[in-house]
Amino acid sequence: MNLHDSSTPPLGGVELLRAENLSHSFDYPLFENVDLTICENEKVAVVGVSGSGKSTLLHILATLLKPQKGSVNLLGSDIYSLSPKEQLAVRRYEIGIIFQFHYLFKGMSGAENIEIAALLSETEPDIELLERLGIEDLMQKRVTELSGGQQQRVSIARVLSKKPRIIFADEPTGNLDDKTAHIAMDAVFEHIEKVAGALFLVTHDERIAKSCDRVFRLENTRLERIE
């Protein structure tokens, strides 16, 4: 197998995400002609220096930013050809995004944030998960009263409550200590297994990256497979 061919999935099986020929620039080219396929039950990590374009790539794959060139297919739909309403349905029911910044509703409690996400996706909040993440006793606190790491755990719980098939996670453990980071990632990994889903993870944590099935580095406009 050619390790440098980012389009080669190791596991095979049903494709959940297929990005073809993606190019995007802001002040400088971030990536050019990037291909990536992720199959069910697969976890993919992306590393790279600050400013290399990891978050931009994640936003493009996660329906939030149309690429200047190329296409993104999620669960069989070419997402940027869909109507806004159809795109919203994919976002609402099929994918979950853990952002680099949490984007929780600040004036509400953690519990309310999670309940709204579950309500919108027609699922039930997972109390066991809150216990596991160590945030069950913080649920009534307003988001502004929580620490950065507590907010991050609420945002992870919020996304998992949606029970999405594909999770996009942008440095989801950046504010967590090692032990909590591993508990959180285990919960995400288990979820992916349970729903036969896919994970696209951006991380600076080498150990967490290595626990994924494939690891890529975004560098000099190329997405190169390194593990």
Ligand X SMILES: Nc1ncnc2c1ncn2[C@@H]1O[C@H](COP(=O)(O)OP(=O)(O)OP(=O)(O)O)[C@@H](O)[C@H]1O
Give me the residues that bind Mg ion (CB under 5 A), please: 55, 100
Judged by CB under 6 A, does residue 26 bind ligand X?
yes
Given ligand X, Mg ion, none, residue 155, with its beta carbon under 5 to 8 Å by kind, binds none
Complex with ligand X: residue 56 or 180, whichever CB lies closer? 56
Distance CA 149, CA 137 (A): 15
- Segment holding 118, helix H or strand E: helix 110-120
**Among 1, 50, 83, 179, which residue sits at the site for ligand X (rule: CB under 6 A)?**
50
147 near 111, Cβ under 8 Å? no
Judged by CB under 6 A, does residue 51 bind ligand X?
yes
3 near 225, Cβ under 8 Å? yes
Complex with Mg ion: residue 100 or 221, whichever CB lies closer? 100
How many other C-beta atoms lie within 10 A of the C-beta of residue 68? Answer: 13
How are beta strands 198-202 and 166-170 bridged, if at all?
parallel
Distance CA 33, CA 221 (A): 9
Q: Pick the piece of the chain touching ligand X (CB under 6 A) from 46-54, 89-97, 131-139, 152-160.
A: 46-54
Complex with ligand X: residue 54 or 91, whichever CB lies closer? 54
Judged by CB under 6 A, does residue 55 bind ligand X?
yes
Q: Which parts of this chain interact with ligand X (CB under 6 A)? A: 26, 30, 48, 50-56, 100
